[in-house]
Amino acid sequence: MSRQRRLVIASGNRGKVQEFEEHLADFALTLAPKPEELDIEETGDTFLANAQLKACHVAKVLGEWAIADDSGLVVPALGGKPGVYSARYGATDGERIQRLLRELVGQGDRRAAFVCAIVIADPQGQIRAQAEGFCQGEIVDTPLGDRGFGYDPVFREVTSGLTFGQLLPEHKAKISHRAQALRQLYPQLMDLPLMAPADAGADGDTP
């Protein structure tokens, strides 16, 4: 009798885990967050490199399929910062936002983009699928809205004219950088042994 396959989400960020659960809800997968004690140092200099590092490490340590993303905010006026250091720009979301706003004081160029790289690795730690997504916007002077997480309240998306902190979750799920990356990933995901019936023992991964 077949059963769903497990896909470990290589993140401890509850906001990200929830978005993955929502986006992948239609797939025959059992999603599970990585163990809290399993930490991965993000030493890559690009979002894709960090996503690859996390997915491969978690997959090899646990011997399971793993999905990881690395995402952040890129602001041209700040030379691309905070970039891959987006989560390390302060101790809390509030501190990160305030630092960003301080650094943009006096800047006429408020353009920004959210970037997301997503990678799936097999139980041997080999990369089997990857994609990148982008969402264009600008940084507002004052946080607006209480939805989302991270820099969402100060990132105003181009097409809606609203910050991610103001957007309804179902709207954000359609236009976000993570949504864009996942749409590119879907065709690759469907071709993976991960999606085969679990009792088929595809790729040597027997239940």
Task: Indicate the DSSP class of residue 134.
Answer: E
The arrangement of strands across the sheet holding 66-74 comes to 29-33, 5-9, 66-74, 111-121, 127-139, 155-157
Q: Tell me the two tokens of residue 16.
A: 């990200």
Alpha-carbon span 32 to 127, nearest angstrom = 19
Distance (Å, whole) CA 100 – CA 151: 9
Furthest-apart CA atoms within the chain: distance in Å: 63
- Report residue 109 CA to chain centroid gap: 26
Residues annotated as catalytic (active site), given as ranges: 70
Nearest CA-CA partner of 166 in 140, 187, 190, 196: 140
137 by Cβ neighbours in 10 Å (0-12 / 13-18 / 19+) ranks as buried
For residue 106, which of 130, 77, 148 has the smallest C-alpha distance? 77
Note whether 155 and 93 are within 8 A (CB): no
